[in-house]
Amino acid sequence: MSAAPDRTQEFLELLTSHDRALGVYVHSMVPAPHDADDILQQTKMILWRCFDQFETGTNFLAWARKTAFHQVLTHRRQKKREATPLSDEMLELLHDEVSKLSDTTDRRGDALRACVSKLPAAHKQLVTLRYYEDMEIDGVAERIRSTAGAVYRALSRIRMSLMTCVEKELQLEGGQP
Domain definitions of the chain by residue range:
1-83, 86-177
Q: Which fold has domain 86-177?
A: Arc Repressor Mutant, subunit A (1.10.10)
Compute the distance between CA of residue 131 and CA of residue 14 in angstroms, rounded to an integer: 23
Residue range 119-144, pLDDT digits in tens: 898 998 888 888 777 788 899 899 99
Q: What is the DSSP letter of 87?
A: -
Asked if CATH classification 2.60.40.10 holds for the domain at 1-83, the reply, yes or no, is no
CB 118 within 8 A of CB 165: yes
Compute the distance between CA of residue 151 and CA of residue 126 in angstroms, rounded to an integer: 8
**In terms of pTM, does the model score above 0.95?**
no
Residue range 15-53, pLDDT digits in tens: 998 999 898 888 888 878 899 999 999 999 999 999 999
